[in-house]
Amino acid sequence: MKTSLNVWRILLLSILSIANLSLSSYSLWKYSETDLLSLSFQSADFSTHLLPVKKQTQMDGFDVCMDNVQETVSLRLCGKVSGELLWQSPENWRVKEAFFSDLNRDGMDELTLLVWRPFQPWPVDRFLPHGGRIADFHNRSGESCHLILIGMDEGKIRELWAGSAMADPIHDLTAVDLDGDGKQELAALEYAYDHEPTAADIVIWRWNGFGFSLMTRRDGRFSTLLALETESGPALLTRNR
């Protein structure tokens, strides 16, 4: 175990070294009540106590198989030579990120997907006198960004929850317990459609029983986000553009 921890520490420091950037190009954040507070690397003991939070790609006999070229994802049985296919993303989905988490707080892990797909307005917009509240929630190519949870229900793998088109797209998703209540929140970087994704804000969301509510936002020009374990609990590391 000690060797494994040291590998993660070396890897994290190597990322900064390879990027040829000083620590001033990065920020460390701690969630406190309703806000993200900036931490100094000295207070977090950067060289010895910061460890990346690993994203789950295997769960209860299932493997996430991500095809970054085709932008598809599939669930297969672990330990099988053939890797029996259990579920695969639809052809019109462009899956950008995939990992297991329990963001809906039901005590069971689900497959969390960040998906781009052709924009569709709400069906009720056809009947509302002033519909179209999400009409602009897409890019110039007509694609919208969605968060989707896939999981087991009555013995079948299916779509458990799918959000409508997001008002603004996100990337660098991380499921992590930021407030210490034993349940995961969703941290991500958010930017505007057709704008630069590497100049984004930090957003923290929490499941409210029906969907996600915004806990806090930190405006900025952040390009990457990584969850870390510190001696005082999880923190978020961002690279500043």
Do 131 and 150 belong together in one domain?
A: yes
Q: Which amino acid is at 98?
A: A
pLDDT value at residue 192 = 97
Token pair, residue 210, equals 């029906």
Which of 145, 167, 189 terminates a domain? The answer is: 167
Query: What is the pLDDT confidence band of residue 40, given thresholds at 50, 70 and 90?
Result: confident
Do 60 and 37 belong together in one domain?
A: no
Taking Cα atoms as reference points, which of 138, 192, 190, 188 lies closest to residue 164? 138
Per the prediction, the chain carries an average pLDDT of 84
Number of domains comprising the chain: 2
Do 62 and 148 belong together in one domain?
A: yes
Tens digit of each residue's pLDDT (9 = 90 or more) over 160-184: 999 999 999 999 999 999 999 999 9
Q: Which amino acid is at 81?
A: V
Do 19 and 94 belong together in one domain?
A: no
What H or E segment, with its residue span, contains residue 106? Answer: none
Do 154 and 178 belong together in one domain?
A: no
pTM of the model: 0.85
Do 63 and 154 belong together in one domain?
A: yes
Do 46 and 61 belong together in one domain?
A: no
Do 87 and 156 belong together in one domain?
A: yes
How far CA 6 is from CA of 45, 51, 200, 208, 232, in Å, comes to: 14, 9, 31, 37, 19
CA 48 to chain centre: 26
Beta strands at 156-162 and 170-176: parallel, antiparallel or unpaired: unpaired
pLDDT value at residue 133 = 79
How far CA 103 is from CA of 21, 137, 148, 211, 231, in Å, comes to: 33, 23, 11, 10, 24
Taking Cα atoms as reference points, which of 224, 196, 200, 236 lies closest to residue 31? 236
Query: What is the pLDDT confidence band of residue 20, given thresholds at 50, 70 and 90?
Result: very low
Identify any residues that bridge with 94 across adjacent strands, giving them in sequence order. Answer: 116
Tens digit of each residue's pLDDT (9 = 90 or more) over 72-130: 999 887 765 566 788 999 999 999 999 999 999 999 999 999 999 999 876 666 555 55
pLDDT value at residue 156 = 84
Which of 123, 148, 167 terminates a domain? The answer is: 167
Which of 150, 167, 184 terminates a domain? The answer is: 167
By residue range, what is the domain housing residue 114?
A: 54-167
Token pair, residue 216, equals 């806090």
Do 22 and 94 belong together in one domain?
A: no
Query: What is the pLDDT confidence band of residue 55, given thresholds at 50, 70 and 90?
Result: confident
Do 58 and 162 belong together in one domain?
A: yes
Tens digit of each residue's pLDDT (9 = 90 or more) over 128-146: 555 567 889 999 999 999 9
Tens digit of each residue's pLDDT (9 = 90 or more) over 199-227: 999 999 999 999 999 999 999 999 999 99
Do 147 and 213 belong together in one domain?
A: no
